Structure 1
Amino acid sequence: MNLDEETVIAGVAAGVGAGLSTVVFFPLELIKTKLQAQVKHKGEQRPEEPVFNGFSDVWTHLVGQGGVGSLFHGLPPTLFRSVVCDSLYFTLSTTLVKRVQQRLGRELVATEAIVCGVISACATQLFVHPIDTVTTKILADQSESSPVQLVKRIYRENGIAGFWKGYAASMILSLNPALQFTTFDRAKEACLNKLNKKELTAAQLFILGMVTKAFTLTIIYPLIRAKVRMQASKENDKHATIVSSFADIIENEGVPGLYKGLKEQIGKSTMSTALLLTCKEKIVYLITKLLRRDNIRRNQTI
């Protein structure tokens, strides 16, 4: 198999896995985004903004306002973002890792693989971040504005730069997928060697995905909370930078506020990422197997 085939397979498999995991776990994505975007202001909570203390509060509010269907408000743009983001990331990272390995003439060590992942994630975010900003607004917005209205509002309030609001934090957060997927790949290789297998079962892949995601997520979660709050902030809010977003959360909610929504994030992200990685690995394995079988048949007929 040549490099182009392997790269395309990795990108397509990641896109399919991302799409499936997004649809399955979307209600959790919506709930955790609303929790992350909210800041409780001391004595100045706006009356039109509901106060959410946890998962059950958001669930009750959404279902009470619009029925079960409201739990899927914002699914189309979120699905689009997930498919584009993961497809692009795995396409870039697969290409970069292969190129670096060819240049060095050896397999990459963990730190080198993480660096390649960070570079790929930064490049991916440069393209995907405007989609992420609009999607975050859609999920956090209480006014039920349409995507087009939100795009116009973002442009009116902050100009074209508003679509890259929080990009600096995303650059730092690029360590998250790089560390997570590198840890997953190394853990998978270790399990394959120890079990003397060519392929892990879906259950084994799922557990590995959950463990590696939970590990990396716990480390970088405060930055995720600050980034989401910054992207969801309205005009004239003081959350223009990642530092001011951190300061405002701590001022109003204390240090524990930096971890608001962590349980929901872990619950959603660990299962979602585990499903994504399981689907990706199985799709890559099956397509690779089919292509190799087809190549063998072609060679036999020549």
Structure 2
Amino acid sequence: MESLSEATSGAVGALVSTTILYPLDTCKTKYQAELRLPGQAKYRNTTDVFLEAIATRRIPSLYQGLGTKNLQSFISQFIYFYGYSFFKRLYLKKSGSKSIGTKVNLIIAAAAGACTVIITQPLDTASSRMQTSDFGKSKGLWKMLTERTWSEAFDALGISLLLTSNPSIQYTVFDQLKQRLLKEKMKNKSGADSSPEALSAFSAFVLGAVSKCVATCITYPAIRCKVMIQSAESEEDLKDPAYKDQAQARKTVSGALSAIWKREGLLGFYKGLRPQILKTVLSSALLLMTKEKILKTTWVVMLALQRYLVALPRARLKNA
């Protein structure tokens, strides 16, 4: 029951954050997927993507692939939170411990993340292709999954597994910053009052945002490669002879890295970093805020449903 309520509230939180931030996510993804020589780029920033949607009267296209993305977000967050809660409770039961250390917590989070990625990768690939398709020309989920081979549905699976390290980096940085901040506070306190001090809500929010930014900066080249590998082929790209020569190569990790280096140089590995950080921080905040708000309600509903299902057979036997 505890695992199910955690998973359900986390999945609903993912739906809320994904839906609210989807236009920003689409602009960010299309900007990240573009690979052109300096001076030939169609988009200078994510704002240009949004302005193109307005100019071509394709604002609804900023939501193309929303259904698939929501399905992927719901399933992935449900599996992640359920797996995380399940593995955590299993560890406590087997070890006999009352709490979980930082290292074990990171391992459990990575295991839950890996399970999530393997199961939801085809949906992730399909949603990325829908977002990066030309405005108004996105195909449906079924066509996206069936028009290519099954192995292509798992494009960038290796990078996705690598990116499960992102939360591990985030929590490690957060823990280190937290310890330093609390140590400084303890030094400034008087000797009479030497009780340990907890972080304030504002300090925790700031440290959480900073740690997420650090984790995103470290893993961002992998994030950009993942988007490029999963992106759809636009009409302009297909007309470009240079793109045709590199089309197959850039569908591999080494090919994507090489293409970025040749066309955009070192800075190309961090193209779209700012909107990525903005979207990631806002998404995490909305998800966790929604999850915490509905967690207690979800628990009550689950408990009532469980009691109803247990009482139903008894009522039938009594009537019989």
Q: Does structure 1 residue 18 correspond to structure 2 residue 14?
A: yes
Pick closer, same or farther for the CA change 1:182–1:274 going to 2, 3 Å.
farther
- Provide TM-score, normalisation by structure 1: 0.80
Look up the match of 1:31. Answer: 27
Pick closer, same or farther for the CA change 1:271–1:208 going to 2, 3 Å.
farther
Pick closer, same or farther for the CA change 1:244–1:291 going to 2, 3 Å.
closer
Q: Does structure 1 residue 146 correspond to structure 2 residue 142?
A: no
Structure 1 SS opposite 2:250: coil
Is the CA contact (8 Å cut-off) linking 1:14 and 1:86 kept in structure 2?
A: yes
Return the match for 2:157 from 161, 167, 179: 167
Return the match for 1:127 from 119, 125, 129: 119
Pick closer, same or farther for the CA change 1:184–1:288 going to 2, 3 Å.
farther
- Equivalent pairs: percent with the same residue? 27
Pick closer, same or farther for the CA change 1:291–1:73 going to 2, 3 Å.
closer
Q: Deviations over 1:224-264 (max 9, x none)?
A: 00111111165843113212211111111011111111111
In structure 1, give the amino acid aligned to 2:255: S
RMSD: 3.3
Q: Does structure 1 residue 108 correspond to structure 2 residue 88?
A: no
In structure 1, give the amino acid aligned to 2:152: G
- Provide TM-score, normalisation by structure 2: 0.76
Larger Rg: 2
Superposition deviation, residue 32 in structure 1: 0.7
Q: Does structure 1 residue 177 correspond to structure 2 residue 173?
A: no
Please list every run of 5 or more consecutive structure 2 residues that lacks an aligned counterpart in the other structure.
Answer: 183-195, 234-243, 304-320
Look up the match of 1:296. Answer: none
Equivalent-residue separation in structure 2 for 1:275 and 1:186 (angstroms):
24
Structure 2 SS opposite 1:66: coil
Q: Deviations over 1:134-180 (max 9, x none)?
A: 00000011261312333233x2xxx2110111001111111123444
Pick closer, same or farther for the CA change 1:214–1:259 going to 2, 3 Å.
same
Q: Deviations over 1:28-67 (max 9, x none)?
A: 1001110111111479x6xxxx711102211111121234
How many residues align? The count is 276
